[in-house]
Chain A
């Protein structure tokens, strides 16, 4: 099942700043909502998002309940070399999703 979607260019010139857009499917339950009979629904959110470029972390976000459901995280990175970009989302209750995308840098 689609847990996350990553959009970025497949190729780039060396030194070019590329835009990356990511979407993760997650309810981001705040921990402030209640059921119809008043029970508190426990917090269940994505806590961290990491982007690594050929294994080196280049961008990291700490997320809190104020991030909307199905979070969009859009950012940039410098296309330094060809290789693999990996994207990792880690959250409550053992939530862990990884997406990888190749990049060719000329």
Chain B
């Protein structure tokens, strides 16, 4: 009896000191950790610089492109209806590739396969604008990537990457974003790192940028090898991050410091 009690106590102590995921009810978007002024900048479409990219995205949605002379609107109609909820469930499994793809990859698949147009370059103004426009249609909706037998292995790969120490500074994402969120690192507040507002208008970039751009920034910061845009490692990590943020609301276009 006392041995079992001791074992139970040991388990309790062990799990308490183990680096763990943030309990679901304690999750906070980067929005909640920003100053009131930056929050106001995001809240009002008239002052949110992301609005400029949304308007570009809307124009691109309607523009005919490629050898097929097709616009997104020709197949998908009004994005406000057809794209509602889409960004909230990406990265999503792509049967043709046999693995999940992110929203940018999906948009480029449509460009090459359906519009017969060249793919949009990573981090280009047009790809950011279209991605922002599509993601905006999920604003206010809960993040909800589909986790099933097909996507589970990729989710686990992403989870492993999030917890793996890497780079010259030998840091794992979890060490800052699970264990030390809310504390300060060189004057900035460490967020929990939920991709709730992407593509975001980052004050430091003075422009709109993708989740991968942000991840590349972090990896450069810890002096780790930076994967190429659209690489499997990135998309697996994005899937994990979206699963980790499941239930939280999309805020695109977010504003972040």
Contact = CB atoms under 8 A, between A and B. Distances in A.
Direct contact of A and B (CB under 8 A): yes
A105 interface: no
B46 A5 contact: yes
Interface stretch (A42-50, A53-61, A67-75): A67-75
B117 to A, nearest CB: 17
Interface residues of A, number: 15
Contacts of A2: 52-53, 55-56, 59
A70 B55 contact: no
Given A2-B59, A5-B55, A23 B47 contact: yes
Kindly name the residue among A1, A27, A28 whose own CB sees the greatest number of chain B CB atoms within 10 A: A1
Contacts of A74: 47
A14 interface: no
A42 B152 CA distance: 50
B195 interface: no
A23 B52 contact: yes
A1 B56 contact: yes
B66 interface: no
A13 B89 CA distance: 46
Interface in A5-26: 5, 7, 21, 23, 25
B59 A7 contact: no
A70 B207 contact: yes
Nearest to B201: A70
Contacts of A1: 56, 59
Contact of A70 (B49, B56, B59): B49
B206 A7 contact: no
A21 B46 CA distance: 6
Contact of A21 (B47, B52, B53): B47
B51 interface: yes
Contacts of B44: 21
Nearest to A28: B206
A21 B40 CA distance: 14
B206 A5 contact: no
Nearest to B51: A5
Contact of B52 (A5, A28, A68): A5
Contacts of B53: 2
Contacts of B45: 7
Nearest to A20: B46
A53 B70 CA distance: 41
Contacts of B49: 23, 25, 69-70, 72
Kindly name the residue among A23, A28, A74 whose own CB sees the greatest number of chain B CB atoms within 10 A: A23
Nearest to A22: B46
Contact of B206 (A21, A23, A69): A69
26 contacts: A1-B59, A2-B52, A2-B53, A2-B55, A2-B59, A4-B52, A5-B52, A7-B45, A7-B46, A21-B44, A21-B46, A23-B46, A23-B49, A23-B51, A23-B52, A25-B52, A27-B206, A27-B207, A28-B206, A68-B206, A69-B49, A70-B49, A70-B52, A70-B201, A70-B207, A74-B47
